[in-house]
């Protein structure tokens, strides 16, 4: 737009304003589109972060049910939480492992007699179990 005249007629001013209004309308539409794209980009970033966290959880062998516990603002903080949960899970597996009960502790009389080479003691131990 080139304003070189000293005075303009009403029609000329109206023509200039129509051009400016068209530009304003176009820029407003472009701005609205940019805002929508920015929201979509934020959603995509959040989805990408969540997928990255879920991938780290899968690598660590954790269930996706625990996602709410490790969800974070960045992957580094989530990784720290995942490692902590993995340690807790290891401790839990160890604590819940098989622990025999009623297992014979120490040597019985037969084993002691056998170790000493005492045949008579071995026979007494066997007979006492049968008749005892």
User: Are residues 57 and 72 in contact, defined by beta-carbon separation less than 8 angstroms?
Assistant: no
**Domains of the chain: total:** 1
Q: Specify if 22 maps to a domain.
A: yes
Do residues 101 and 112 make contact, with C-beta atoms less than 8 angstroms apart? no
> How many Å apart are CA 29 and CA 84, to the nearest integer?
49
What is the average pLDDT score of the chain? Answer: 87
110-124 pLDDT, tens digit per residue, is 888 888 889 998 888
Which of 19-28, 60-69, 95-104 has the largest mean confidence? 19-28
Q: Give the domain range for residue 44.
A: 10-97
- In this structure, is residue 132 part of a structural domain? no
**pLDDT 10s digits, 64-78:** 888 888 888 889 999
Report the C-alpha gap between 30 and 77 in whole angstroms. Answer: 37
Residue 81 neighbours by CB under 8 Å, 6+ apart: 69, 70, 72
Residue 32 maps to a domain = yes
CA–centroid distance for 15 within its chain: 60
72 domain residue, yes or no: yes
* Residue 72: partners with Cβ closer than 8 Å, 6 or more residues away: 53, 78, 81
């Amino acid at each position: 737009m080139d304003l070189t005249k000293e005075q303009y007629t009403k029609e000329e001013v109206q023509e200039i304003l129509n051009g400016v209004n068209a530009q304003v309308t176009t820029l407003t539409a472009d701005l609205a589109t940019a805002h929508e794209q920015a929201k979509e980009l934020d959603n995509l970033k959040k989805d990408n972060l969540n997928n990255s966290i879920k991938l780290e959880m899968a690598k660590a062998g954790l269930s996706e049910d625990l996602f709410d516990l490790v969800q974070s603002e960045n992957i580094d903080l989530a990784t720290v939480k995942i490692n902590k949960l993995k340690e807790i899970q290891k401790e839990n597996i160890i604590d819940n492992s098989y622990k025999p009960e009623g297992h014979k502790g120490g040597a019985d009389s037969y084993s002691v007699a056998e170790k000493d080479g005492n045949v008579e003691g071995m026979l007494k131990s066997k007979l006492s179990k049968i008749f005892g």
